[in-house]
Structure 1
């Protein structure tokens, strides 16, 4: 790598580190602005399990119903050909998170149907990374299966969405309806 390319790369990583340090990827992405969407749940205390399939670019099921206080274990499987995300949040949280996901594409972390896990683990400064390891979210390559266990403590406009650039806009989100 030439010195100029290294300096450009270092500057880009510094900008990303600052953006991530400003409230990304921690405690449910940190964009709730005081909205209570819930909290991580205990799998051994889950009230029920919902299987979620991610396709290119939709979820099955397209919406879910929950009771306030209910703990749900989501078993999420990526059946698409692209990297997809299952993220629980508000529309505002998703909008803010989409900017972070765009940076993950720009820095080569998300590469169509592949994740560069080495880049995800790289220290972006001040101990921040692009690990995408928040309790309300999973980012999966095609064929991967992971769980999200979530306790829905609040009411409001909550949805699950894929924030990989363009996926939300293509309709890859679903409603969480409180009953």
Structure 2
């Protein structure tokens, strides 16, 4: 019993330190608090008042995004409207390939893991989500669905941010 209690405690502590939450079909935006503005290699959370352009993405159960490539000017703030036309949960996560690979590996180990970050949207079947993001750094970045198996099935796309002059 003591070993079971120690093991359970270790699992709970590990889970709590990783901020693990269950993926569900709830509308996560309703419970979201203030947007955390943390500079990332691929940009920073944007402000709805400064949106330069809106791009609508479709996610489907064929494990694809449409469009799967976008071009952005450095400094541009985009509103991504993400529509899940499938029958299962999908998500859109923006990042570097390295960050997405690391997060995807964690999702394989902990398939119910979820984070509330401004560069991701969890979208239930038939629902719509959004991300407002400022691409303030030039470079080649990616977006993907990191739900276990989706990324590995090819559910990813490219963002090319061209340096401002």
Measured against the shorter chain, the TM-score band is 0.7 to 0.9
- Aligned residue number for residue 48 of structure 1: 53
Question: Does structure 2 retain, via aligned residues, the 8 Å contact 1:20–1:100?
Answer: no
Which 4+ runs in 1 deviate beyond 3 A? Answer: 2-11, 18-21
CA drift of 1:9 comes to: 4.6
**Secondary structure in 2 aligned to 1:44?**
helix
**Secondary structure in 1 aligned to 2:79?**
strand
Question: Does structure 1 retain, via aligned residues, the 8 Å contact 2:53–2:77?
Answer: yes
Question: Does structure 1 retain, via aligned residues, the 8 Å contact 2:45–2:119?
Answer: yes
In 2, the alpha carbon distance for the partners of 1:75 and 1:49 equals 7
1:150 is the counterpart of 2:133:
yes
In 2, the alpha carbon distance for the partners of 1:80 and 1:161 equals 15
- Aligned residue number for residue 96 of structure 2: 90
TM (normalized to structure 1)?
A: 0.70
- Aligned residue number for residue 43 of structure 2: 38
In 1, the alpha carbon distance for the partners of 2:59 and 2:110 equals 20
Higher relative contact order by CA 8 Å / sep ≥ 6: 1 or 2? 1
- Aligned residue number for residue 115 of structure 2: 132
User: What are the ranges of 5 or more consecutive residues in structure 2 without an aligned counterpart?
Assistant: 21-35
CA shift in 2, pair 1:7/1:84, >3 Å: farther
CA RMSD of aligned residues (A): 2.9
Structure 2 residue corresponding to 1:141, chosen from 118, 124, 129: 124
Residues 34-56 of structure 1, C-alpha deviation per residue, up to 9 Å, x if partnerless?
96210001112100100011112
**Secondary structure in 2 aligned to 1:85?**
strand
Structure 1 residue corresponding to 2:75, chosen from 69, 78, 88: 69
CA shift in 2, pair 1:10/1:48, >3 Å: same
